[in-house]
């Protein structure tokens, strides 16, 4: 019963039957504990897992290989790599499952370097990694953006006669796309097809942004055709990715054709189309679609409102944008975030309403970002509001900025007026805060 519920997606009931077992006179064995630990993973309940670990220790099952492997798996998937490593370190005997579980634990929490150290150590100890171990390593590096290492591991895996699974292919393709390495991403898709692996919705969703990067609507249409052939069009994530792809390629009408033909639309579909209209200056279309979305009972989220405010900013619709911004929480039940503040500051600074922008920045309940400061100083430069720029400079001294754009803009204001002493003061402030402007370069 414990096993049946654990393996069929009812971890609470599995734990419940384990509790009944404890109340009886029957003593659990090592198989019981491996199953219960799986149920703890299903619940993502680290504390429950620790309680089970305590029982395992008291009953002397910790030295059992299968139980120790289950403990590593539980701690790793519940995000506690330190406890997983403690179990791993005291194991007298380790098999491929032990090593792979520990490697997966590190990769799962983004510690891919530690995974690689264990991966190499495992091979030195004469244990040959299986396809699952290879897949973990390759996918981990791909997700981190280290495509070269991922590709190197993929080549080694192929030489050992093992084949990557679909998850690994998807991670590789997505990693290369996110790293703007379009040619390699397309080559990987072909390699995957040549290997007889059929792409799924995740493959296509990860691949579609590539068309925007290379500005190739024809390539996007080829993938669109593949979506139809594989019958993935009903998937809302794929259709949203198609809308976004056509938007990035400048094909607004094609994006609308996809949107209007989707039977079931979720918030991502609406956001993609509203964002498409806003990005291409069709603000009235974006606002009408926003109103239609609400009429159809779909509640806007943070992304919807960011897209709408950004559209108002680029179109110079100040009052419309301010009306939306000031009613975000009351009308839409969304708490204003830094992205919304960035849009409204940009909106005000574009039209020279810098006092309003300054007062909003001063009263912001959220983190003040570098982009907000940069937009404000750029507005000060355009509208020659040195007084407000200097007031903001004093405020900046108490902020933890990560990028220098705002202070660079202030330095440029002083430089335009020939006040080189103030330019030097700003540069000194940047050095004091550890901010460095990326050096420019030119090619002859």
pLDDT at 25 over 90: no
Q: Other C-beta atoms within 10 Å of 401: how many?
A: 18
Mean local confidence (pLDDT), 114-130: 93
Q: Report pLDDT digits (tens) over 240-293.
A: 999 999 999 999 999 999 999 988 888 999 999 999 999 898 989 999 999 999
Return the higher-pLDDT residue of 424 and 235.
235
How high is the mean pLDDT of the chain?
87
Model confidence, pTM: 0.72
C-alpha 325/C-alpha 171 separation (Å) is: 37
Measure the N-to-C terminal CA separation of the chain; round to a whole number of Å. 74
Q: Report pLDDT digits (tens) over 86-97.
A: 999 999 899 999
Confidence of residue 406 (pLDDT cuts 50, 70, 90): low
pLDDT at 442 over 80: no
Mean local confidence (pLDDT), 135-147: 89
**Residue 435's pLDDT is what?**
53
Mean local confidence (pLDDT), 55-69: 92
Confidence of residue 212 (pLDDT cuts 50, 70, 90): confident
Confidence of residue 348 (pLDDT cuts 50, 70, 90): very high
Confidence of residue 109 (pLDDT cuts 50, 70, 90): confident
**Residue 355's pLDDT is what?**
93
**Residue 439's pLDDT is what?**
41
pLDDT at 26 over 50: yes
**Residue 413's pLDDT is what?**
67
Q: Report pLDDT digits (tens) over 271-282.
A: 999 999 998 989
Mean local confidence (pLDDT), 395-408: 59
**Residue 438's pLDDT is what?**
40
Mean local confidence (pLDDT), 354-363: 91
Q: Poorest-confidence range of 42-51, 350-359, 393-402?
A: 393-402
pLDDT at 379 over 50: yes
Contact 347, 328 (CB under 8 A): no
C-alpha 196/C-alpha 190 separation (Å) is: 10
**DSSP string for residues in 127-142:** PPP-HHHHHHHHHHHH
Instruction: Name the one residue in this structure whose structure tokens are 């009886």.
Output: 24
Confidence of residue 426 (pLDDT cuts 50, 70, 90): low
Q: Report pLDDT digits (tens) over 31-40.
A: 999 999 999 9
**Residue 436's pLDDT is what?**
54
């Amino acid at each position: 019963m414990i096993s049946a519920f654990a393996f069929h997606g009812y971890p609470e009931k599995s734990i419940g039957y384990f509790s009944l077992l404890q109340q009886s006179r029957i003593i659990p064995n090592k198989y019981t504990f491996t199953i219960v630990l799986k149920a703890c993973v299903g619940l993502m309940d680290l504390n429950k897992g620790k309680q089970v670990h305590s029982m395992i220790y008291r009953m002397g099952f910790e030295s059992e290989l299968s139980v120790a492997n289950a403990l590593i798996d539980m701690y790793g998937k519940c995000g506690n790599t330190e406890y997983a490593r403690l179990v791993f370190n005291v194991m007298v005997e380790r098999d491929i499952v032990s090593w792979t579980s520990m490697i997966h634990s590190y990769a799962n929490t983004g510690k891919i370097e530690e995974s690689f150290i264990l991966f190499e150590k495992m091979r030195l100890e004469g244990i040959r990694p299986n396809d699952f171990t290879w897949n973990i390593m390759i996918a981990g590096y791909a997700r981190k953006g280290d495509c070269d290492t991922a590709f190197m591991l993929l080549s080694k895996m192929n030489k050992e006669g093992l084949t990557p699974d679909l998850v690994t292919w998807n991670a590789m393709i997505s990693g290369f796309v996110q790293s703007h390495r379009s040619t390699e991403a397309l080559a990987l898709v072909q390699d995957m097809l040549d290997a007889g692996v059929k792409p799924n919705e995740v493959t296509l969703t990860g691949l579609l942004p590539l068309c925007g990067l290379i500005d190739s609507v024809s390539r996007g249409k080829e993938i669109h055709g593949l979506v139809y052939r594989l019958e993935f069009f009903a998937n809302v994530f794929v259709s949203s990715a198609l809308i976004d792809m056509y938007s990035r390629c400048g094909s607004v009408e094609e994006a609308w054709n996809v949107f209007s033909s989707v039977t079931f639309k979720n918030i991502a579909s609406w956001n993609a189309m509203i964002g498409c209209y806003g990005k291409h200056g069709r603000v009235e279309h974006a606002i009408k679609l926003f109103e239609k979305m609400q009429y159809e009972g779909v509640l806007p989220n943070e992304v919807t409102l960011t897209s709408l405010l950004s559209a108002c900013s680029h179109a110079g619709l100040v009052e419309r944008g301010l009306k939306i911004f000031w009613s975000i929480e009351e009308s839409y039940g969304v708490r204003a975030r830094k992205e919304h503040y960035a849009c409204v500051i940009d909106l005000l600074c574009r039209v020279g309403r810098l006092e309003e922008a300054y007062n909003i920045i001063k009263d912001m309940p959220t983190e003040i970002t570098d982009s907000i400061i940069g937009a404000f100083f750029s507005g000060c430069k355009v509208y020659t509001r040195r007084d407000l720029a200097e007031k903001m400079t004093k405020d900046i001294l108490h902020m933890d900025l990560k990028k220098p754009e705002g202070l660079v803009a202030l330095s440029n204001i002083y430089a335009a007026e020939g006040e080189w002493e103030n330019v030097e003061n700003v540069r000194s402030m940047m050095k004091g805060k550890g901010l460095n402007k990326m050096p420019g370069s030119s090619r002859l």
